[in-house]
Amino acid sequence: MVALVIVLALFFDFTNGFHDTANAMATPIATGALKPKTAVAIAALLNLVGAFLSTEVAQTISGGLIREGDNGVQITPVMIFAGLIGAIVWNMVTWMLGLPSSSSHALFGGLIGAAIVGAGTGSIDPSILLSKIILPALLAPLVAGLVAYLATRIAYAITRKRQRGGFRYGQVFTSSLVALAHGTNDAQKTMGVITLTLIAAGFQQAGSGPMLWVITLCAAAIALGTYTGGWRIIRTMGSGLTEIEPGQGFAAEASTAATVLASSHLGFALSTTQVASGSVIGTGLGRKGASVRWGTAARIAIGWLITIPASGIVGALAAMLALTGLFGIIADAVLAVGAIVFIFLFSRRNSVDARNVHQEPTELVRPRRKRKRSANKGGRNV
């Protein structure tokens, strides 16, 4: 069971990688600062490096969110297995829709739903949930958006139009910094899940951090996932929220990197997707003449709000089935694989890759209504 959970956790790490590539590379791809395939290769390498730089977030998950009872951690590998199914299925659904939802919150929701079914509401530490997950989720996008807004206003105030093309070179640095920051935060979450599994199964002492082999496997999995691209979400982030110029991209990436690195240092299990989206919206507000597609932003925000409960419900249902015994575990695995394969095959009907990533995301952006000329006298517009 422990081996099965580790494999499933690494697959979640892989989905996290391709789900969140857009956080670092959507804006430099949109502005032409980096070619699409070059961008995802750089992001994969820096995600790999970043995963080795910090373990604070991993310890938030392995030693904080799930309480320890009289007999140790109140969650079993079977419950973690069910929670991961909830997270993976939700990640796949939002990827298919091109919706930049939070892989982190999908993971938390799945684990919380499974833990409540298997060990009761007392197994969750509400203080950790509030201080390290909920509050950062509410504040970080606002902070990043404000910083990006101010940075954009300053950048456009102190430069002339003919000088702003130089921001493309700056974007190479800032987007790379975001990719590095993503590795220090998101890769840690899978490390925390595997460490929690080892502690729950008695293979590791409670309160200890992730071992080197766990760090290495998680770093490799998220890097591989990042390299696959996640083109659907890159398209939404790059052209679905606002039209991005190099100066805006530079400001958005700088504010995202600063927010994520600070959160990783404090052990906040932050959603880098929410931070990056907030930064992009901030730059849209900060550049004179730019506009934010608020309809798209609203649909993304709704996705944020329902991620924890939606993945929690799937995780809870999976836990109900898995806790019935071996047959339930097998049934969970078969249903999860079937859902993943169906979503992947369904997504092939409208394929997105490096060649068409610059097109507007029709999944989220509604086409504008064309003005038609009436056949009535006077030819008035209707």
Q: How confident is the model over 224-282, as pLDDT tens digits?
A: 988 886 777 777 776 666 777 888 888 888 888 888 888 777 767 667 778 888 888 88
* pLDDT tens per residue across span 166-182: 788 888 888 888 888 88
- What is the number of residues in the chain? 382
Residue 173 inside a domain? The answer is: yes
* Cross-strand bridge partners of residue 381: 373
User: Alpha carbon 335 to chain centroid distance?
Assistant: 24
SS3 at position 289: coil
Residue 189 inside a domain? The answer is: yes
The Cβ of residue 376 has, within 10 Å, a number of other Cβ atoms equal to 8
Question: How many domains does the structure of the chain reveal?
Answer: 1
Domain with 287 in it = 2-352
Rounded Cα distance, 292 and 240, in Å: 9
Mean pLDDT of 138-156: 87
Residue 269 inside a domain? The answer is: yes
Residue 348 inside a domain? The answer is: yes
- Of the candidates 336, 357, 364, the one whose C-alpha atom is nearest the C-alpha of residue 92 is 336
Rounded Cα distance, 300 and 294, in Å: 10
Residue 366 inside a domain? The answer is: no
Return the pLDDT at 100: 77
Structure tokens at 118: 């298997």
Residue 372 inside a domain? The answer is: no
Mean pLDDT of 11-23: 83
Rounded Cα distance, 165 and 296, in Å: 28
Residue 306 inside a domain? The answer is: yes
Rounded Cα distance, 230 and 29, in Å: 13
Q: At what angle are helices 212-227 and 2-31 packed, to 10 degrees?
A: 40
Structure tokens at 44: 């994969």
